[in-house]
Each structure stands twice: as C-alpha cells, then as structure tokens.
C-alpha cells in the first residue's frame, strides 16, 4: 500500500512537471475596449503613454514630432512640446518617416515627479527635457564615449535620485529601419545613464541587441531593459547586495513569448510589457502584451485586435483602473479595462 502511494505520488509529480514544461503559454485575456482616441489629424504612432503628477494626460509623442497632451474636458489634444524649434514642413497628412530625422520623433517620455520636468528620448535628437509648461525641449545629450546616438528610444527617471536612464537602440540603423536591427542581430545598442547634477552621461552596457523600453523595480534595486531581438528583459543591478552581487551585474529578468517594446511598472510592483510581435501560436502580428509579476514571471497575456484592428502595441500603462495602450504605427491611443 505504501509502495503504491509512493508510486502514485511519483507519477503525479512527473505529470505535473511535464504539464509545467509543455505549457509555455500563460493565461490569456481578451481585453475590453473602453475608449479609442485618434491621434492629432495627419499623425500616427503614439509610441509611449505617460501621465503627469496631477494625473493630466495622457501625454504622447506622435509621428510629426509633437508631444501632445489629451485634455478630456475639451476632448482634444493640446500641443505640449517639440524637440526641435524649426517646424517648417513638419506637419500635415503625409508620410512622416520622410521628415522625422529633421522634425524629431519623440519616443520615450518620463516625468521627474518632483521637478515636474518631462524627459524625452527622441530617435534623432537624443535625450532632452522640457519644463512643466512645455515648449521647445532642451537637448541634454546626443553622444556618449565619443559615439553619437543612432536611435534613442526609451527613458525612465528614478524618482528617488533624479537619475535618468535611457536606451540607444542601434548605432547602425535609424528608427524606420528597425526590422534590420532584428534581422541582422545588430548588437550596437547601449544602455545609458544621465546625471542631472553633473550632466554626465555614462554607458552602463554595450553590445545590446535592440535595447528598447526601460523601467525600475519598486525598491530601485534593478534597472530593467527590454532586449527586443532576444525576446527578453534584462536586469541591471543598481544597488549592491553583497560581494556576489555587485553594482552593474547584468542578468535575465524575464523570457517573453515575443519581442518586447516598452515596459511599465504597475501599482503592485509587477510590469506590463508591450510585445511588438509574438511567438504565441496563432497570434502573430496582433496587438499583444505580457504582464509580469515582480520576479519576472509572465502571469498573463493580453491579446486582441482591440475590436478596432489595433496592431503592434508599443506601450501598456496602467492608470486609475484602465490600461492605456500606445502603438508605433496606429493612428490612435486606446484605453482598455484593467
Ligand atoms: C483642459 O481644458 C480645461 C478647459 O479649457 C482647462 O480648465 C483644464 O485646465 C485643461 N486641463 C488640462 C489637463 O490641460
Ligand atoms: C527650417 O527648415 C527648413 C526646411 O528644411 C529650411 O528650409 C529653413 O532654412 C530652416 N529655417 C531655419 C531658421 O533654420
Ligand atoms: C492554430 O490555428 C490552427 C488552424 O486554425 C489550429 O488547428 C490550431 O489548433 C491553433 N493552435 C492554437 C494553439 O490555438
């Protein structure tokens, strides 16, 4: 009898272990569309979504180089900032990939909640910032270690220290050629740091394969960086926890069922990661995102055409019970039930 129970227990254990291994696809959820806000006339690609300290927003950067803020009372976008003063020929209903190197393409946005300044990563103009009233942003950095940034992409401000972390996705390929970064396994991406007290720019990591979104863990112990080409999130240690774990050590935080774009921390310390493509069976090419717990485990997949044929999610941000979703190609921002 005892032997039989042991045998049964072993079989049960083996079965569960096998199920665990052959079930790489986590629970999936069909989101509920609450609102769809078209981007300003003639523009597409609200790549990143942010709200300011007072809860106003969303703010987003669009294809013609403007950073706009949604005013829900007036039900319209208000111009907030630009990354270059000369806007001649920048706006209008045409393909902005032809003008973006001159007009700017602000991708990453992150507020310093204390100073209310908005930091931005523009694909062509590097790291910039603007005050709480907006206007023309001031450039803070366009090169590091003598090498110009090729494709500045994402930024996050550490709210405790004011330090700014950002990514340069490739030294070789500009933004519109991003598929080539993946196809050629380009490894010229860099993870960078800007210290507003000294204006110093530091290279934290070299040889990354399409470093994209950045986020900080709640305790500030790690800086997370999405490595798009490798379907994973890396963690860069910011605080030492003993001799075996020095500052600057890099490890894998999460393996993902697709190529990650931006990453945002949630209230509970977990993260939403937008996936620009996916290897989840049958869902290739549709808007998709993964929710991670605070340890990097994928706990949920959000997949949908959002009822509006919304493709290529680039950012998912939880805000007051809603999920705000941006896209690098769609002409709208959508709000989903959280
Ligand atoms: C939105 O517009 C209203 C009416 O003009 C104004 O009172 C309010 O301050 C604006 N809010 C934001 C966030 O811009
Ligand atoms: C602004 O850009 C336009 C278009 O490239 C150019 O013709 C013009 O000279 C620029 N103006 C200034 C003041 O730089
Ligand atoms: C994918 O689609 C094929 C064809 O429609 C279907 O046979 C298969 O079961 C689907 N796989 C999954 C995981 O849904």
pLDDT tens per residue, range 281-294: 555 444 578 999 99
Span 128-141, average pLDDT: 98
Please give the pLDDT value at position 33.
Answer: 86
75 touches ligand 3 (CB under 6 Å): no
Nearest one of 138, 141, 148, 136 to 165, comparing CA atoms: 141
Rounded CA-CA distance 75/53 in Å is: 20
CA of 191 to the centre of ligand 1 (A): 37
Is the pLDDT at 113 greater than 70? The verdict is yes
242 touches ligand 3 (CB under 6 Å): no
| Residue 170 C-beta-side C-alpha neighbours within 13 Å | 20
Please give the pLDDT value at position 287.
Answer: 58
* Closest residue CA from atom 7 of ligand 2: 88
Please give the pLDDT value at position 21.
Answer: 39
The residues near 240 (Cβ < 8 Å, ≥ 6 apart) are: 246, 247
* Closest residue CA from atom 8 of ligand 3: 282
* Bridge pairing between strands 126-130 and 288-292: unpaired
Highest mean pLDDT among 6-15, 161-170, 325-334: 161-170
Contact 217, 254 (CB under 8 A): no
CA of 325 to the centre of ligand 1 (A): 22
Q: How confident is the model at residue 98 (pLDDT cuts 50, 70, 90)?
A: very high
Q: How confident is the model at residue 196 (pLDDT cuts 50, 70, 90)?
A: very high
The residues near 285 (Cβ < 8 Å, ≥ 6 apart) are: 277, 278, 311, 312
CA of 103 to the centre of ligand 2 (A): 11
Atom of ligand 3 nearest to the CA of 281: 13
Q: How confident is the model at residue 170 (pLDDT cuts 50, 70, 90)?
A: very high
Sign of CA dihedral 48, 54, 57, 59: negative
CA of 78 to the centre of ligand 1 (A): 9
* Closest residue CA from atom 5 of ligand 2: 88
Residues with C-beta less than 6 Å from any ligand 1 atom? 56, 71, 73-74, 78
* CA of 54, nearest ligand number: 1
Please state the three-class secondary structure of 198-248 as a single string: CCEEEEEEEEECCEEEEEECCCCCEEEEEEHHHCEEEEEECCCCCCCCCCC
CA of 89 to the centre of ligand 2 (A): 9
Sketch out the chain's domains with CATH numbers: 4-337 (2.120.10.30)
Q: How confident is the model at residue 22 (pLDDT cuts 50, 70, 90)?
A: very low
* Closest residue CA from atom 13 of ligand 1: 56
* Closest residue CA from atom 10 of ligand 2: 86
Q: Among 48-52, 147-151, 152-156, 297-301, which is the least confidently predicted range? A: 297-301
Please give the pLDDT value at position 312.
Answer: 74
Helix (H) or strand (E) holding 178: helix 178-183
Q: How confident is the model at residue 338 (pLDDT cuts 50, 70, 90)?
A: confident
Contact 123, 147 (CB under 8 A): no
Please give the pLDDT value at position 303.
Answer: 77
Is the pLDDT at 122 greater than 90? The verdict is yes
Whole-number mean pLDDT of the chain? 89
Atom of ligand 3 nearest to the CA of 282: 1
Rounded CA-CA distance 45/34 in Å is: 20
Q: How confident is the model at residue 305 (pLDDT cuts 50, 70, 90)?
A: low
CA of 282 to the centre of ligand 3 (A): 6
Is the pLDDT at 68 greater than 50? The verdict is yes
Rounded CA-CA distance 336/71 in Å is: 18
Q: How confident is the model at residue 310 (pLDDT cuts 50, 70, 90)?
A: low
Is the pLDDT at 307 greater than 90? The verdict is no
Rounded CA-CA distance 96/44 in Å is: 9
- With pLDDT > 70 as the criterion, what percentage of the chain qualifies? 87
Atom of ligand 2 nearest to the CA of 89: 4
Is the pLDDT at 257 greater than 90? The verdict is no
Q: Assign 83 to helix, strand or coil.
A: coil
Please give the pLDDT value at position 194.
Answer: 98
* CA of 303, nearest ligand number: 3
Contact 168, 145 (CB under 8 A): no
* CA of 87, nearest ligand number: 2
Q: Among 1-15, 99-113, 207-221, 239-253, which is the least confidently predicted range? A: 1-15
Q: How confident is the model at residue 278 (pLDDT cuts 50, 70, 90)?
A: low
Please give the pLDDT value at position 20.
Answer: 37
């Amino acid at each position: 009898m005892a032997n039989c129970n042991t045998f049964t227990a072993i079989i049960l254990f083996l079965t569960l272990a096998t199920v665990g291994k052959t079930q790489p696809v986590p629970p999936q959820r069909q989101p509920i569309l609450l609102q769809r806000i078209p981007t300003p006339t003639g523009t597409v690609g609200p790549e990143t979504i942010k709200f300011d300290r007072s809860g106003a927003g969303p703010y987003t950067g669009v294809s013609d180089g403007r950073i706009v803020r949604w005013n829900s009372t007036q039900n319209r976008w208000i111009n907030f900032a630009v990354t270059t003063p000369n806007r001649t020929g920048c706006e209008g209903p045409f393909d902005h990939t032809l003008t973006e190197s001159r007009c700017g393409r602000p991708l990453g946005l992150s507020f310093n909640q204390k100073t209310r300044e908005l930091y931005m990563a523009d694909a062509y103009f590097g790291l910039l910032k603007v005050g709480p009233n907006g206007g023309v942003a001031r450039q803070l950095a366009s090169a590091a270690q003598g090498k110009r940034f090729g494709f500045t992409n994402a930024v996050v401000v550490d709210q405790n220290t004011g330090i700014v972390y950002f990514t340069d996705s490739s030294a070789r390929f500009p933004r519109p050629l991003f598929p080539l970064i993946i196809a050629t396994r380009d490894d010229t991406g860099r993870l960078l740091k800007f210290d507003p007290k000294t204006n110093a720019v530091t290279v934290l990591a070299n040889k990354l394969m399409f470093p994209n979104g950045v986020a900080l863990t709640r305790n500030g112990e790690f800086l997370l960086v999405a490595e798009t080409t490798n379907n994973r999130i890396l963690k860069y240690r910011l605080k030492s926890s003993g001799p075996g774990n020095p500052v600057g050590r890099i490890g894998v935080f999460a393996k993902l069922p697709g190529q990650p774009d931006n990453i945002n921390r949630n209230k509970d310390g977990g993260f939403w990661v937008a996936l620009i493509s996916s290897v989840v069976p049958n869902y290739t090419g549709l808007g998709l995102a993964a929710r991670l717990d605070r340890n990097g485990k994928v706990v949920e997949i959000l997949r949908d055409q959002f009822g509006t044929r919304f493709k290529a999610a680039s950012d998912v941000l939880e805000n007051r019970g809603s999920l705000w979703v941006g896209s690098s190609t769609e002409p709208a921002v959508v709000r989903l039930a959280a």
